[in-house]
Amino acid sequence: MPVIVFALGLLTLQGGMRALAPFLAEGPVIPFAPVLGFVAFAVTGGALWLAAGPAMFARMPWPAWLALGVALRLPWLDAPSVLNTDHFRYLWDGALVAHGLSPWGPPPAAGVPPALGEAGEALREQMRFTGLRSIYPGTAQAAFGLAHLLSPFGMAGWRAVALLAEAATLLLALGLLRRAGWPAARVALWWCCPLLPVLVLGNAHLDVLLPPLLLGALWATLAGRGVAAGVLLGLAAGVKLWPVLLAPLLAWALPPAARPGAALGLLVAGGATIAPLLATLGAGDAGLVAYAGGWLVNNAPLATLAALWPAAAGWARPVLGLVAGLVALLVAWRAPAGPAGLLGGTMVVAAAVFYLSLAQYPWYALWFMPLAALLAFRPLLLPAALLPLYWLWFPMDRAGQGVLFNLTLAWGHLASVLLALRLWRRQ
C-alpha cells in the first residue's frame, strides 16, 4: 500500500469519528446509530494501522510520521468528550488542589466550597458519582491542579497536560529504542495509532500520564539509577495503583547496590502520592472501595461467572488481584536481562492487570500498548482494532442490555487476543 494512501485513510477515518463526536454525549438516552458509525470508523482505522505495522512507518521519514500523528490529534483539541464524564471530576479535583483544598475530603454532594464559586456549582451538576470521594491518587491530583492553573474549569488545560505527557512518552520511547538498538519505526507505530487521539483527547483520560512515568522508570533501571527508578515508579503508582506490582521486576533488573535507593525512592514517592487516598478507605463514601466492590464492565469472564454463579462474583474480585500479584512475581523471576526482558516483563504485567481488571476500559490499554509497540508485539496491538467495540456498551446499557454486552461482544475482544497469543506461541 502506498504511504500516501495509508495516511489519507487514517486521516479520513479519524475525521469520520470527529464528525460524530457531537452526537456522542453521555446521557440517559444514547442513540445507537451514531455510536455504531463511530465504532465502525474506529475499528476500520485500527485494522488499517495494524495491517500496515512497523514496515509502513519504516518507509516514512521521521518528519512525515511525526506530522501524521499531529494531524490525527488536531481535530480533537476542541472536541466534545466522547461518551465520557470522568473529566468533570478531574476539573473538580483540580480546582480543589489549585485552591489549596484536599481533593480527598467530603464528596461533591456534601457541598461546593466557596472558593469554587458558581463555576464549581455548574461543574458539580455535570458530574457523576457525586456521593463518592475522589478515587485518584496524588500524581493524578497534581496534574489536575496544573490543568486548572492553565485553564480554570476548562478542558484546554487538561488537554495541554495530556499533550505534554504524550511528548514526554515520545522522547523517552525514542531513547529506549536507541539504547536497545531497535528501529525508530516502532515509536512511529505508537505515535500514529488511530485510537490514541480518541482516548487521550477525545475521552480525555488520565491514563496518558502513566506511559512517560513507566518508560522513565525503565530507562532509569537500565541505567542502574535506583533512586530515580524508585521515585518514578512511585509517581506512576500515584496515577493508578497497579505499577507497584512492577517493583520486583525493576529490583531484579537493577544492580544490587542500587536496590536500597530504589526501595527508598519508591517508599517516599509512592507513600506521598498514595497515602492520602488510602486514608479514605475507612469512609463509607470511599470511591476506591465502591470501584473494587461494584464495577464490572467489559470483563467477559467475570461477567459470565457472575451470570452462572452469582455468589462467586464477590470472592472472585480479590482473587483477580491476587493473580495479578502472582503474575508480577513470576515475571520478575523469569524475565531475561537487558532492554527486551525489562520492557517485555513490564508489558506482560501491565497486560495481565488489564485483563484481570473489573472494568476493562479502552483507555486502560495505555498501560501496555506503548510497550507492545516498542516491542512490535502484534498480539497486544490487536486491542487498537477491537477495544472500540466497548462504546457499543453505552446504547446497549441504556436499553437494558449491558449484561448482554459483557456476555457477548466483550468475549469477542478477549477471544481474539487469546487466539493471537496462541498463534504467536505456535510460531
Q: For the chain, what are the domain ranges?
A: 3-426
Give the residue from 199, 387, 385, 213 showing the smallest Cα distance to 300: 387
Consecutive 10-residue averages of pLDDT for the chain (427 residues): 91 96 86 94 96 90 94 94 90 94 90 88 88 92 96 93 96 91 90 95 92 96 95 96 95 94 96 91 77 75 81 75 90 85 94 90 94 94 94 89 86 90 85
**Are 379 and 417 in contact, with CB atoms under 8 Å apart?**
yes
Residue with cell 492553565: 150
Class of residue 273 by CB neighbours under 10 A (exposed 0-12, middle 13-18, buried 19+): buried
pTM of the model: 0.93
The pLDDT of residue 66 is 94
For 128-179, how does the pLDDT look when each residue is reduced to its tens digit (9 = 90+)? 888 888 899 999 999 999 999 999 998 999 999 999 999 999 999 999 998 8
End-to-end alpha carbon distance in the chain: 26
Cα→Cα distances 420→51, 121, 382, 417, Å: 14, 49, 8, 5
d(CA 286, CA 281): 6
The pLDDT of residue 292 is 66
The pLDDT of residue 338 is 84
The pLDDT of residue 294 is 65
Query: Grid coordinates standing for 25?
Result: 454525549
CA atoms within 13 A on the CB side of 2: 3
Backbone angles phi, psi at 297, to 5 degrees: -140, 125
CA atoms within 13 A on the CB side of 152: 11
The pLDDT of residue 319 is 83
Give the residue from 37, 8, 9, 10 showing the smallest Cα distance to 21: 37
The pLDDT of residue 282 is 79
**Are 221 and 250 in contact, with CB atoms under 8 Å apart?**
yes
